[in-house]
Amino acid sequence: MEPQLAEQLVSSLKGAGIDFVTFLPETRLSQILPLIRDDPDIELVPVSSEAEAVTIAAGAVLGGKQAAVYMESTGIFVSSYSLLIAGKSLGVPILLVVAFLGGFEDQRQSFLYANIGKHSIPVLNGLGIENRVIEDGANLESKVKEAVRTANAQRSPIALLFAGEFSS
């Protein structure tokens, strides 16, 4: 990912009101981490599993934060129980910022990732979590704002799956 795309993504998260990010690091979007870490307006919380990235974010939202979870798409599978309980059953809006491995738009597509990519969106759909694939920076600010607004309105997690230029 080009550095300016990372800056644009972080700026878009801030513009949408995100002030709390839990994460497990991965490869494709990792350039956003130093930017978030150095930003005094966003609390960055490292975790050991995407399952707790979701529950911690849910608690922060109930406590007044606007939270995002940054994860690799494998994290969708790891956190699906937390998404169902803390996200859907409790009804807590969380923005899922997902590095989308293995989809058509993944520029690092490989046999390692293809199965993950094939099943990521069906699992999100099965959980009732609406999602969009984002391939470039066009209208990124608007897309992130729309996702957060929709998450709040639905009282549900919403997923943005980053691929294309974000996976280069």
Q: Which of 89, 107, 111, 103 is nearest to 160 (CA)?
A: 103
Q: Minimum distance from CB of 134 to other proteins (Å)?
A: 22
Nearer to other proteins by C-beta: 91 or 126?
A: 91
Q: Using CB under 8 A, list all residues that contact other proteins.
A: 17, 20, 43, 45-49, 51-52, 54-67, 81-82, 85-86, 89-93, 151-153, 155
CB-based contacts of 24, cutoff 8 Å, min separation 6: 46, 47, 48, 49, 50, 53, 70, 71, 72, 75
To other proteins, the closest distance from the beta carbon of 146 in angstroms equals 15
Residue 34 CA to residue 92 CA, distance in Å, equals 27
Burial of 28 (0-12, 13-18, 19+ CB in 10 A): buried
Taking the least distance from each CB to other proteins, the nearer of 6 and 56 is: 56
121 vs 148, beta carbon nearer other proteins: 148
Measured from the CB atom, the residue of 24 and 98 that comes closer to other proteins is 24
Closest CA to 88 of 130, 146, 127, 132: 127
Q: Provide the residue count of the chain.
A: 168
* CB 43 to other proteins: min, Å: 7
In the bound state with other proteins, the residue whose beta carbon lies nearer, of 94 and 99, is 94
Provide, rounded to whole angstroms, the least separation between the CB of residue 66 and other proteins: 6
Closest contact distance (angstroms) between CB of 18 and other proteins is: 11
Sheet holding 95-99, edge to edge: 43-46, 20-23, 67-72, 95-99, 158-162, 131-134
